[in-house]
Structure 1
Amino acid sequence: MPRPNHHGEQTIMCGRFANHLQHLKDWSEILGSWPDEVSGGYNVAPTQTVAAFVEDGGRAMRWGLIAPWAKEISSRYATFNARLESVAEKPAFRHAWRSSQRCLIPALGYYEWRGEKADKQPYFVHLESGQPMVFAGMYEPAREGGFPASCTIITRPARGTLEALHPRTPAVLAPEQASAWFGESPDDVLRLLEEQAPPAAGFYPVDRAVNNARYDAPDCIDPLE
């Protein structure tokens, strides 16, 4: 497990998700078109390219935020999740936060694990409504030197049913909150996420093949029989 430090965040949750979306239902008009260069997948892992949506449409971004002062794309510190409680102060994230560089990252759901390291059981977390999840995120644009656009998913303390699985969860937004996420001040969106009642979610065990980040197939999200 990467060590927590003042540059980034400890790897604590939401290390994989599924975004092989066939349609976005209530989100389609808000998000706009899916970026052509992102095929999606059922077992998306950090450093892979994901679809992230900014105010004017979809963009292909590296999952794992690259700070504007970073000299290399790769980092010894995990930056694919950003804690809501400290996002405004952590050096890796505070520029994106203070500059209101916010994005939305759609997913069918995400994976979380239980058990000992040698025998971890993966679970797929999904909304009970059957709608896709849309994570609150932040991004840094591409810059000279071959640095791609990159993003991170904001996490918050888990509530309700999900507390039994893991103490943290991605910050999931409802369609009616999208305009506020893009348009409000940093202080206002912080309050939005702190006060928001999370949508009803459930989880079920899936095959341990998900543990291998190279395995990406529709049966990743099938309930374990």
Structure 2
Amino acid sequence: MPGRFFLTTPMAEVAERLGKPAGDLEDEPPRQNIQPGQEIVVLTAQGLTRMRWGMIPVGRVNARGRPVMETIINARSETVFDKSAFDGVGRAVIPVDGWYEWTGEKRRKTPWRLSAKDGQPLYFAAITDVWTAPGGLQVPQAAAVTCDPNADVKPIHHRMGVILPVDDVQTWLSEDEGVARKLMRPLPNGLLNIREAVDVNWSGP
């Protein structure tokens, strides 16, 4: 499942492929290392915008009635529409050029870079809501939706993000829940380029 994304395609080009205006996102810089907790570009039914990657589920409380502050960056497709923690969430798409996974033992892990073989952006299904932070600040937030891996990803990780064909992007954003559920499946095999990630500044952009 995606732990970090990268997006270096100019945002004007991403917007054009999606048939949406880039607006004030046109100057979005290329990013090789997008980490949870940072702002990401997402597409909602209203257009392209920025949200924080990671959701503090709205209304989620512990046994004492106190808010649960655990951040969720990925949500399982099998339960995303059923868990009370995700009641009332919206849907969005995260456009990226690819993502990273790691294999191996702690401190000796190998990073892998996954992207589309045809060089086109990938469109991750996501859920969204707005968290009200202490002091009343409204924070739009998003989490990627995950499913079982396809044969390409399985040797690297036991989960992968739900990657939508571009023709299904609008369907995910606007159709009812029953239709959206049918889209939450692994990407067909053979469409990804997977190679060891080298020369990535893991602490920078």
The reply to whether TM is greater than 0.5 is yes
* Letter of the structure 2 residue corresponding to residue 128 of structure 1: K
Cα offset for 1:68? 2.2
CA distance in 1, matches of 2:57, 2:156: 31
Check the 8 A contact 1:14/1:110 in 2, yes or no: yes
CA separation of 1:57 and 1:26: change in aligned 2, threshold 3 A: closer
Residue 39 of structure 2: aligned partner: 49
Taking the TM superposition and a 5 Å limit, the aligned residue runs for 1:169-208 are: 169-194=160-185, 197=188, 200-207=191-198
CA separation of 1:25 and 1:146: change in aligned 2, threshold 3 A: closer
Higher helix share: 1
Residue 136 of structure 1: aligned partner: 125
Alignment of 1:61 with 2:51, yes or no, is: yes
* Letter of the structure 1 residue corresponding to residue 81 of structure 2: A
Taking the TM superposition and a 5 Å limit, the aligned residue runs for 1:139-178 are: 139-141=128-130, 143=132, 145-178=136-169
CA distance in 2, matches of 1:33, 1:168: 31
CA distance in 2, matches of 1:143, 1:88: 22
Check the 8 A contact 1:83/1:156 in 2, yes or no: yes
CA distance in 2, matches of 1:116, 1:19: 27
Cα offset for 1:207? 2.5
CA distance in 2, matches of 1:207, 1:74: 37
Q: Moved runs in structure 1, 4+ residues, more than 6 A?
A: 71-74
* Letter of the structure 2 residue corresponding to residue 65 of structure 1: M
Residue 204 of structure 2: aligned partner: 215
Residue 114 of structure 1: aligned partner: 103
2:81 aligns to what SS in structure 1? coil
Between the two proteins, what is the percent identity of the paired residues? 23
How many correspondences in the alignment? 196
1:176 aligns to what SS in structure 2? helix
Higher strand share: 2
CA distance in 2, matches of 1:205, 1:54: 32
* Letter of the structure 1 residue corresponding to residue 21 of structure 2: G
Residue 85 of structure 1: aligned partner: 78
* Letter of the structure 2 residue corresponding to residue 192 of structure 1: L
Residue 5 of structure 1: aligned partner: none
Cα offset for 1:16? 0.4
CA separation of 1:122 and 1:151: change in aligned 2, threshold 3 A: same
TM-score normalised to structure 2 length: 0.83
Q: Structure 1: give runs of 5+ residues left out of the alignment.
A: 1-12, 217-225
Cα offset for 1:183? 2.0
CA distance in 2, matches of 1:73, 1:202: 41
CA distance in 2, matches of 1:14, 1:208: 19
CA distance in 2, matches of 1:35, 1:112: 31
Check the 8 A contact 1:82/1:93 in 2, yes or no: no
Residue 19 of structure 1: aligned partner: 7
Taking the TM superposition and a 5 Å limit, the aligned residue runs for 1:35-46 are: 35-36=24-25, 39=29, 41-46=31-36
Cα offset for 1:81? 0.2
Check the 8 A contact 1:135/1:154 in 2, yes or no: yes
CA distance in 1, matches of 2:167, 2:16: 9
* Letter of the structure 2 residue corresponding to residue 41 of structure 1: R
